[in-house]
């Protein structure tokens, strides 16, 4: 379909998809599909993975802080740190040998946060190079 026909008939998603299919079937369209092996696709996959890790890392820290806020005051005072990395490190250092459920949860969340933080750093390095 040429431009004049498009202007006369109007344009919608349904019409666009039908016209694209008709053009391909009739041989009018000489479209080459995207190559998903290039540098842009590589960057896109790294960025998608990094964004996922950042989101999960933030969620892990939010869970840690929520457990601290709802937990005992002495625990909150001894473990809460404003900086996320200090908050996760404090948890690992002080709680790693406890069998209390709250402490186990805090240690596991801190380990997850540290793992995701390492992933984000690795992905940042991969994106720079």
What is the number of other CB atoms lying within 10 angstroms of the CB of residue 56?
16
Give the model's pLDDT for residue 30.
72
Q: How big is the chain, counted in residues?
A: 129
Residue 11's pLDDT is what? 67
pTM listed for this prediction: 0.68
Query: What does each of the 129 residues of the chain score in pLDDT, given as a tens digit?
Result: 567 776 776 667 787 788 788 888 888 877 776 777 788 888 999 999 999 999 999 999 999 999 988 988 888 888 878 888 887 887 666 666 667 898 889 989 999 999 999 999 999 999 998
pLDDT score of 115:
96
């Amino acid at each position: 379909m040429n431009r004049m026909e498009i202007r006369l008939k109007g344009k919608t998603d349904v019409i666009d998809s039908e016209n694209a299919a008709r053009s391909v079937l009739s041989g009018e369209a000489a479209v080459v599909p995207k190559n998903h092996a290039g540098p842009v696709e590589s960057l896109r996959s790294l960025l998608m993975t990094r964004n996922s890790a950042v989101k999960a890392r933030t969620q892990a820290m939010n869970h840690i802080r929520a457990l601290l806020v709802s937990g005992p005051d002495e625990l909150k005072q001894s473990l809460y740190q404003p900086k996320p990395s200090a908050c996760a490190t404090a948890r690992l250092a002080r709680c790693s040998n406890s069998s209390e459920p709250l402490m186990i949860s805090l240690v596991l969340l801190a380990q997850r946060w540290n793992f995701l933080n390492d992933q984000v750093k690795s992905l940042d390095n991969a994106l720079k190079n």
